[in-house]
Amino acid sequence: MAQYKTPNVYVQEKSIFPPSVAEVATAIPAFIGRTEKTTYGADASLLKKPIRITSMVEYAKWFGGPYLEGFDFTSVKDEDDAIVGVKLNPTRPVAKFILYHMLAQFFANGGGACYVVSVGGYATTNADGDEVEEDPTAAAEKGLFADALAAVAKIDEVTLLVQSDAIPRMYDATDHIHYYNLGQLALSQCDENQDRFAVIDVIDTFDGMTPANTKKMSDDLSTLRGPSGVGMANLKYGATYYPNLVVSSPRSYKESKVTLDGETMSSLEGKPTHAMLKTALSRNFMQLPPAASIVGVYSRVDGNRGVWKAPANVSLSGVARPTRKITNDDQMDMNVHSSGKSVNAIRAFTDKGTLVWGARTLAGNDNEWRYVPVRRLFNMVEESVQKATAFAVFEPNVPLTWLKLRTMISSYLENLWKQGALFGATADQAFFVNVGLGQTMTEDDINNGIMNIEIGMAAVRPAEFIVLTFSHKSISA
């Protein structure tokens, strides 16, 4: 108590309200991949350094533009041997480096702030000073991505992990195991940090162009679920989506790398065939793994409805169509499987467009952590409460401190309940917060400096199966 020595009227302010819980962000993804630029400023390296951006303008400032591909065309002639069109020969279904276009899809679907980590460039310079396109092995690429993932682990703001740019360099059957191993590393990081969630793509091997292509959806799903796919650990911290998406933007190209009957496009400037190539290339749409679009949807739904709303039955922007048509029968095997690894479908519906049509984690048979919004809600609440209660470290472990903490946490959870995040007719049905001697602590706990707080929440779950029962109504007098 202050000592007063001069007669006067003194004013004191007394705080009667407990501190509040500041809610953490829920949809801040980290994208890992290869970029055009790997240095910034005076040759400062960008490699394996998470950079926060909020737009494609910022991305271009830090990391440059898209990867410019090369394409081979054959002319189409009529009976008089006149060129009437051009035909694109078999090409890889997904571009070699896709990070730029992934970010474009993220922002198009409602994404905001995110982090980008470069693991290398599109090309390197050889001993003669010539630019040579990078062609890393799958194993080497996995090592670079793993290092970048370790750097992301130190960024507290990150809540989502996306590594889709690794897929094009791990596309073959002998290499896809490296991508799924990266997915397992991401799940492990989520479990260790307990504040993030991994969105993992199923490698879609259907190129959609080769008539002889016989790869089936069941093959891709079996690979994901098999010994060379994602392991069984920490499945509650991740979700997968399938199939790939044909997006509305065309693939990027460089005229000197585009050929028609052996001639480069740049040498055809001013000729009718040049215009034919321009038209054909404008219709040569990108195919991308869906994870970038999905985390954009997460961000949009979180902002509009809340993290507890399932990010499903939501349309995808900038998407022409999925690469495969999935039916109800197809999705039965995707949604519920004996392996426990659920795969969320992306489906095209008449008059509705392309929709996300699933909301399960990889732990699809787990009664507690089956749904994406439940896992992400707990992530948000756990981290928010953890940060908010830090003031109590080294405070006296006494009833007054317990009351402050219980009141603070209860107020936060009640607000969530009022917003519809928790299930229950009353607040008592929706959650509980217990702390105190004889309730959550023993005298031995207090003597050892331990304060135990128990929090329970009845999280709302999505109505995944709606059953309508109809019957004839009997006619009564």
pLDDT confidence of residue 477? 56
Interatomic CA distance for residues 356 and 245, integer angstroms: 11
pLDDT confidence of residue 211? 52
pLDDT in tens, the chain (477 residues): 678 889 989 888 887 776 789 899 999 999 999 999 999 887 799 999 999 999 999 999 999 999 999 999 999 988 888 888 899 988 788 999 999 999 999 999 999 999 999 999 998 877 666 778 888 889 999 999 999 999 999 999 999 999 999 999 987 777 889 999 999 999 999 999 999 999 999 999 876 555 555 568 888 999 999 988 998 899 999 999 999 999 999 999 999 999 999 999 999 998 999 999 999 999 999 999 999 999 999 999 999 999 999 999 999 999 999 999 999 999 998 998 888 899 999 999 998 999 999 999 999 999 999 999 999 999 999 999 999 999 999 999 999 999 999 999 999 999 999 999 999 999 999 999 999 999 999 999 999 999 999 999 999 999 878 888 888 887 765
Residue 106 within any structural domain of the chain: yes
Identify whether residues 301 and 346 lie together within a single domain.
Answer: yes
Say how far residue 436 (Cα) sits from the centre of its chain: 39
CATH of the domain at 298: 3.40.50.11780
Residue 260 within any structural domain of the chain: no
pLDDT confidence of residue 1? 64
The domain boundary, picked from 313, 348, 376, lies at: 376
Identify whether residues 345 and 462 lie together within a single domain.
Answer: no
Q: Which domain holds residue 356?
A: 29-65+97-244+289-376
pLDDT confidence of residue 171? 79
pLDDT confidence of residue 93? 85
Identify whether residues 371 and 424 lie together within a single domain.
Answer: no
Residue 136 within any structural domain of the chain: yes
Beta-carbon-side half-sphere exposure of residue 347 (alpha carbons within 13 Å): 17
Identify whether residues 347 and 476 lie together within a single domain.
Answer: no
pLDDT confidence of residue 364? 92
Identify whether residues 311 and 433 lie together within a single domain.
Answer: no
Identify whether residues 404 and 368 lie together within a single domain.
Answer: no
Which strands form 263-264's sheet, in the order they lie side by side?
83-88, 72-77, 259-260, 263-264
Identify whether residues 371 and 397 lie together within a single domain.
Answer: no
Counting the structural domains of the chain, the total is: 2
pLDDT confidence of residue 102? 97
Residue 20 within any structural domain of the chain: no
Residue 72 within any structural domain of the chain: no
Is the distance from CB of 167 to CB of 201 less than 8 angstroms? Answer: yes
Residue 217 within any structural domain of the chain: yes
Identify whether residues 463 and 332 lie together within a single domain.
Answer: no
The domain boundary, picked from 376, 401, 435, lies at: 376
Q: Can you give the pTM of this predicted structure?
A: 0.92
Identify whether residues 329 and 359 lie together within a single domain.
Answer: yes
Query: Comparing C-alpha atoms, which of 431, 382, 434 is closest to residue 405?
Result: 434
Residue 5 within any structural domain of the chain: no
Interatomic CA distance for residues 399 and 403, integer angstroms: 6
Residue 329 within any structural domain of the chain: yes
Structure tokens at 324: 């495969």
Identify whether residues 311 and 458 lie together within a single domain.
Answer: no
Interatomic CA distance for residues 10 and 14, integer angstroms: 13
C-alpha distances in Å from residue 126, one per residue of 45, 64, 222: 19, 21, 41
Identify whether residues 236 and 209 lie together within a single domain.
Answer: yes
Identify whether residues 370 and 406 lie together within a single domain.
Answer: no
